[in-house]
Amino acid sequence: MNGALLSVKDLSVVFPERGKRFFRHGDCVRALESVSFELARGETLSVVGESGSGKTTLLRSLLGLIPPTGGSVELYGRSFQSMTDLERVRARRGCGYVLQDPYGALPPTLTVTGAVTEPWNIVRGHSGREAGIAKARELLDELKLPESLWGERARYSLSGGQRQRVAVARALILDPELLLCDEPTAMQDVSTRAEVLEVLNRRVRAGMSMVLVTHDLLLARRAAKRAIVLHKGRIIESGDTATLLERPSHSYTKALLAALPRLQPL
């Protein structure tokens, strides 16, 4: 074990083209190619790239939800493939995952409070139910979700941005050591975007590690000191986020910067 929380070596993921179950010559998508990086405990990494660059595939691979076609992902020095089912469940329990659009991940029958407390009840059992509800309320309050919505059905009665904040609360309720966030502020309006990021950064200051996926370089810098830039599944640039913003060396990174609105009020 090398002390890294997360160690990704030469990771490649190849999908059959959508709608096709088998590979035929040329019918594949190379979603990730030879991706390598490490994440230490307490560290945050931003993953930046345009749509289709492989960001979501990378997050899902980090949780072992997509098996690598080549290379390896190790969490706490172990690959998911080498774990028993129980070990895999335990390893994932230490990780929170905020999906890009959590619509399908929020159970249809549960209220907002119910959706946030569900992971707590599964892990801690119903004996700690009251404590779970109290913690859920604290989180929803911190994430500025109006109390009038807490009893609404999480999946159907909320806007995309509100749903995402419920998903953030649900991912944080078990105090994860590692949080994986897929464009967590993409659906937020300007006023809530900074607040969500502040909630995440507060957890990082308290020791949580985070991988934050975004196509927004400014957000990447506000969340992390270090970033990798993905283009067609490859890391084309990596390093200090401030340097990437001020002196991007790759034309693709420059194009990502140019695509940002001039005065982003975050």
Residues that bind ligand ADP (CB under 6 A): 15, 18, 29, 31, 49, 51-57
Does residue 253 sit in helix, strand or coil? helix
Tokens of 51: 């749509």
Neighbours of 190 (CB within 10 A): 10
Pairwise CA distance, residues 101 & 28, whole Å: 25
Nearer to ligand ADP, 62 or 154 (CB): 62
52 binds, among ligand ADP, Mg ion, none (CB under 5 to 8 A by kind): ligand ADP
Nearer to ligand ADP, 101 or 195 (CB): 101
Give 168's contacts (C-beta < 8 A, 6+ positions apart): 98, 143, 181, 184, 196, 199, 200
For the bound state, the minimum distance from the C-beta of residue 100 to Mg ion, rounded and expressed in Å, comes to 5
Residue type, 21: R
Pairwise CA distance, residues 242 & 31, whole Å: 27
Element (H, E) at 234: strand 234-240
For the bound state, the minimum distance from the C-beta of residue 98 to ligand ADP, rounded and expressed in Å, comes to 13
56 scored as a contact of Mg ion (CB under 5 A): yes
The residue count for binding Mg ion (CB under 5 A) is 3
For the bound state, the minimum distance from the C-beta of residue 35 to Mg ion, rounded and expressed in Å, comes to 15
Does residue 156 sit in helix, strand or coil? coil
Does residue 233 sit in helix, strand or coil? coil
185 scored as a contact of Mg ion (CB under 5 A): no
Nearer to Mg ion, 32 or 149 (CB): 32
For the bound state, the minimum distance from the C-beta of residue 67 to ligand ADP, rounded and expressed in Å, comes to 12
Q: Which stretch binds Mg ion (CB under 5 A): 99-107, 143-151, 204-212, 248-256?
A: 99-107
User: What is the strand order of the sheet 28-39 is part of?
Assistant: 28-39, 6-16, 70-75, 78-79
Does residue 191 sit in helix, strand or coil? helix
Nearer to Mg ion, 96 or 184 (CB): 184
For the bound state, the minimum distance from the C-beta of residue 98 to Mg ion, rounded and expressed in Å, comes to 12
Question: Which residues in 233-252 contact Mg ion (CB under 5 A)?
Answer: none
Give the residues lining the site for Mg ion (CB under 5 A): 55-56, 100
